[in-house]
Structure 1
């Protein structure tokens, strides 16, 4: 009888799959593609419309089966929070988040094992960015994980160290990195140009991801671009054009940046994203806090020069492939302005960063991540 790894794939059919949905899709596909001999992958999903079941089966050819719980997602999340249901049963369960059936078990006797994943600590560091319900649920599930999870996967060593300050998992924490989203492939010269023209992009531009929330560093980037002497290059923001009642154009004008130079794009098509990243003069990641720094990894995969803040996560992921800017206690905006200026005004620096970017990209693959997940469950 084959050994079955049961992957919780609920997020791929959520109303807004988001980064977690992309992670779930990529890792599940890689787990199926790298299945060891004598093993198989089964998907687990909460009670959903038949169309969602069909989407999952089409998205993941090669599944051995699809387990459908009796409860819908919201009810299942509440039940698992309270430990009130044994669904979906035992065996090897891998959860790409804290959404998992965490309950008392002894894997040395039953062979059951549950592994969960922690991508960030926003519920503790910036609870105001989440709903109160999400914060309380996340904290409750981490407590259950501390008691019942056989292992906890995190994307970086930096996050593992910060997690240890919140909950002691001992040697159960495993670092398994991420990789670029499915479909993010370097476009041909002609295709990239056509896509960028359709999106209304200029010939030269910077790219930054995020919202106007303080921790993303986007406001500080705009302030840096408004400093005297900084080249007046357009900025493409991959994110919404407002945050609450604060609008991107207003912040740009207040920072001394002509609002016409700032373009907000929300891109779902990975081919469009690839074209945007590949054509960028530089990708800037000024955030003060990141969970997996996947934005850096995706920029590297497109060979874009990268400028990033010197957070522990960014330094770990970049491994000197990008131009690091010290956050420090003051002067970050000025240092960021200097870094942007140097990359724009010195083509040799931009070329060197493009080369190191492409080299660093080879360190990240979903195949490697999946093989590490299989090894983790084998070790357990």
Structure 2
């Protein structure tokens, strides 16, 4: 029985982030759409507790003999350690150095931030990602990217013989569907949610532009609403409360909720007045799609991938310009008709992105390459 192996190591990272959600959702959808006769298995490095790497629908989660750091180094230095399977999908650039003879390797590259905005990563992180992305472009059979924007930037910064395929993301049902009223009441009470607010979702790190958003919310033309943020702390020491104090945003107008469960996030998302996505750079921007699916108007930066994903359903502000961001937020918040039109466009746009569709596209890629290998 042929086997597709999905590397689920990102689910065991200290901060799985958006790539963790991608890994889980895509792996589950691949299992749910598997062609007859195929099995889908998760594989991760050796961990004391591999349970977080288990994904619904996968037949199993196998552990390799090496822990994460050793596995990363082994693949970095070209050790031919194959994780098993007839075809392998790496949902992040942490991937085997090259496919084993007769096998297939496909790698997802989420963005080109290490090349275009290296200052938003640690020097070591930028260098490592540049190296593994270049390696994938040279040695993998194919690369999956989430947007045309990333495909164009990849061709410029990491050209290679690997096929490049654009496959968008999706929205989990728990975020697309309005939560039950009893859940809403409980989450609102426990999180002390205000009745209306500007929402930002994402890992708290320099690339996300939360400093610009806080400056916008504290400025003289700011919308008269509190700011709610959702997301775990990433690297870079971004202190939201210190930024609020620096820009003069009163403590009562900032609610930093940290990391939430999907059920909690669904409530926070559906109750938001507007989602702000002020990122300096993105490869896709899942919160933009998830907010549109939930019926929330979106204001995003003019980062190319965010503009592409929003597809005209959101409103764009100039990256790094807090005054422009405040202006656009106010224009949406103070015009119910404009916001309602954005909601309609956003829902229609988000309906075209599903994890099932993403999985079907990825399957076609793997099956075509497998057949070309004589499988």
1:22 maps to what in 2?
A: 21
Matches for 1:302-313 after TM superposition, within 5 Å: 302-313=294-305
Q: Is the 8 A contact 2:233 2:258 kept in 1?
A: no
Q: TM-score, normalised by structure 1?
A: 0.88
Given candidates 146, 150, 155, the residue that maps to 1:164 is 155
| Correspondent of 1:85 among 76, 80, 83 | 80
Does residue 343 of structure 1 match 2:332? yes
Q: Does 1:286 align with 2:284?
A: no
Contact 1:146 1:168 in 2 (8 A): yes
Taking a change above 3 Å as real, the CA distance of residues 105 and 280 of structure 1, as seen in their structure-2 partners, is: same
CA deviation after TM superposition for structure 1 residue 73, in Å: 1.6
* Number of matched pairs: 368
Are the structure 2 counterparts of residues 147 and 284 from structure 1 closer, same or farther at C-alpha, using a change threshold of 3 Å? Answer: same
2:288 paired residue among 291, 296, 299: 296
Structure 1 residue runs of 5 or longer lacking an equivalent are none
Task: Find the partner of 1:102 among 97, 103, 106.
Answer: 97
How has the CA–CA distance of structure 1 residues 211 and 118 changed in structure 2, closer, same or farther, with 3 Å as cutoff? closer
Q: CA deviation at 1:159?
A: 0.9
Does residue 79 of structure 2 align to residue 74 of structure 1?
Answer: no
Unaligned stretches of 5+ residues in structure 2 = 370-375
Q: TM-score, length-normalised on structure 2?
A: 0.89
Pick from 341, 359, 362: which aligns with 1:370? Answer: 359
Give the stretch that moved more between structures: 294-303 or 129-138. Answer: 129-138
Which moves more between the two structures, 209-218 or 37-46?
209-218
**What is the aligned partner in structure 2 of residue 273 from structure 1?**
265
Distance apart, 1:127 and its partner CA = 3.3
CA RMSD of aligned residues (A): 2.5
CA distance in 1, matches of 2:276, 2:288: 9
Task: Tell me, in whole angstroms, the C-alpha distance in 2 between the residues paired with 1:171 and 1:144.
Answer: 10
Tell me which residue corresponds to 1:146.
137
Q: Is the 8 A contact 1:211 1:218 kept in 2?
A: no
Q: Note closer, same or farther for the CA distance 1:362–1:250 as it changes in structure 2 (3 Å cut).
A: same
Q: Measured at CA, do residues 9 and 246 of structure 1 come closer, stay the same or move farther in structure 2, by a change above 3 Å?
A: closer
Cα distance, 1:345 vs. partner? 1.5
* Contact map agreement 1:69 1:87 (CA 8 A) in 2: no
Q: CA deviation at 1:89?
A: 4.4
SS, match of residue 255 in structure 2: strand
- Contact map agreement 1:220 1:333 (CA 8 A) in 2: yes
Contact (CA 8 Å) 2:4, 2:85: kept in 1 or not?
no
**1:331-358 deviation line (CA, Å, top 9, x unaligned):** x333222211122221112222222222
**Secondary structure in 2 matching 1:165:** helix
* Counterpart check, 1:319 vs 2:339: no
